[in-house]
Structure 1
Amino acid sequence: MSEALKPPRVLGTVGASLLNLNGMIGAGIFALPALLYVGLGNFAPFAILLFAIPTICLAATCAKLSTVFDQSGGAQLYVETALGKFTGFQVGWFVICASSAGRAANFHVLVSYLAALFPVFDGPVARPMTIIACIAFMTIMSVIGTKRSIGGVWVGTIFKLAPLVLLCVVGIGMNGVPADIELPSFSGLESVALLIAYAFSGFGTSIATAGETKDPRTTVFRSVIMAIVGVALFYAVVQWAYIAIAPETGNADIPLAVAAQKLFGYWGSVMISIAAVFSIATNQLCGFIVFPRVLFGMGERNL
Structure 2
Amino acid sequence: MSHPPTPAGLPDELRRRLGVSDAVVIGLGSMIGAGIFVALAPAARAAGSGLLTGLALAAVVAYCNATSSARLAALYPASGGTYVYGRERLGEFWGYLAGWSFVVGKTASCAAMALTVGSYVWPGQAHAVAVAAVVALTAVNYTGVQKSALLTRVVVAVVLAMLAVVVVTSLTSGAADAGRLGAGADATFGGVLQAAGLLFFAFAGYARIATLGEEVRDPARTIPRAVPIALGITLVVYALVAVAVLSVLGPQQLGAAVAPLSDAAKAAGADWLVPVVRVGAAVAAVGSLLALILGVSRTTLAMARDRHLPHALAAVHPKFRVPHRAELVVGAVVATVAATTDVRGAIGFSSFGVLAYYAVANASALTLTSAEGRPARIIPLAGLAGCLLLAFALPPASVVTGAAVLAAGVAVYGVRRALASRGA
TM-score calculated relative to the size of structure 2 = 0.61
Distance apart, 1:198 and its partner CA: 2.8
Give the Cα–Cα distance (whole angstroms) in 2 for the partners of residues 279 and 203 of structure 1.
16
Alignment pair present for 1:23 and 2:27: no
Structure with the bigger RCO (C-alpha within 8 Å, sep 6+) is 1
Residue identity over aligned pairs, in percent, reads 24
Amino acid at match of 2:301: F
Question: Corresponding residue for 1:92?
Answer: 99
- 1:228 alignment counterpart: 231
* From 32, 57, 71, the counterpart of 2:64: 57
Given the alignment, which residue of 210, 219, 229 partners 2:213?
Answer: 210
Q: Distance in 2 between matches of 1:3 and 1:256?
A: 47
Measure, in 2, the Cα distance between the counterparts of 1:90 and 1:282.
27
Deviations 1:65-120 (A, max 9, x none): 1121122111111122134456545643553333333323332332122223xx4x
User: What do the CA deviations read for 1:131-169 (whole angstroms, capped 9, x no partner)?
Assistant: 342222111110221111101111222222221111112
Give the letter for the 1:153 counterpart: T
Q: 2:71–2:224: 8 Å Cα contact kept in structure 1?
A: yes
Q: Which residue of 1 aligns with 2:16?
A: 9
| Structure 1 residue identity aligned to 2:142 | V
Is the 8 Å Cα contact of residues 45 and 235 (structure 1) preserved in structure 2? Answer: no
Q: What's 2:178 paired with?
A: 178
Equivalent residue in structure 1 for 2:108, among 101, 115, 123: 101
- Alignment check: 8 A CA contact 1:17 1:226 kept: yes
Task: Note if contact 2:53-2:192 (Cα within 8 Å) is conserved in structure 1.
Answer: no
Do the aligned partners of residues 290 and 58 (structure 1) sit closer, same or farther apart at CA in structure 2, a change above 3 Å counting? closer
Alignment of 1:29-40 (within 5 A): 29-37=36-44
Q: d(CA) in 2 for partners of 1:210 and 1:136?
A: 25
Aligned residues: 295
CA RMSD of the aligned region, Å? Answer: 3.0
| CA distance 1:287–1:86, shift in 2 (3 Å) | same
Pair 199,106 (structure 1): closer, same or farther in 2 beyond 3 Å: closer
Give me the whole-angstrom Cα distance separating, in 1, the residues matched to 2:95 and 2:241: 39
- Of 189, 192, 200, 2:192 maps to 189
Q: Amino acid of the residue matched to residue 232 of structure 2?
A: V
Identify the residue that residue 249 of structure 1 maps to in structure 2.
Answer: 253
Alignment of 1:25-174 (within 5 A): 25-37=32-44, 44-45=51-52, 47-85=54-92, 88-89=95-96, 91-116=98-123, 119=124, 121-122=125-126, 127-128=127-128, 130-174=129-173
- Conserved in 2, the CA contact under 8 Å of 1:21 and 1:227? yes
Instruction: Quote how far apart the aligned CAs of 1:180 are.
Output: 7.5
Q: Summarize the Cα distance change of 1:228–1:177 in structure 2 as closer, same or farther, 3 Å threshold.
A: farther
Which blocks of at least 5 consecutive residues in structure 2 are unaligned?
Answer: 1-5, 312-424
Shift of 1:282: 0.8
Moved more, 277-286 or 157-166: 157-166
Amino acid at match of 2:105: A
- TM-score, normalization: structure 1? 0.83
- Structure 1 residues 111, 189: CA separation in 2 closer, same or farther (over 3 Å shift)? same
My pick for the range that moved more, 244-253 or 274-283, is 244-253
Q: Kindly indicate whether the alpha-carbon contact (under 8 Å) linking 2:32 and 2:284 is maintained by their aligned counterparts in 1.
A: yes
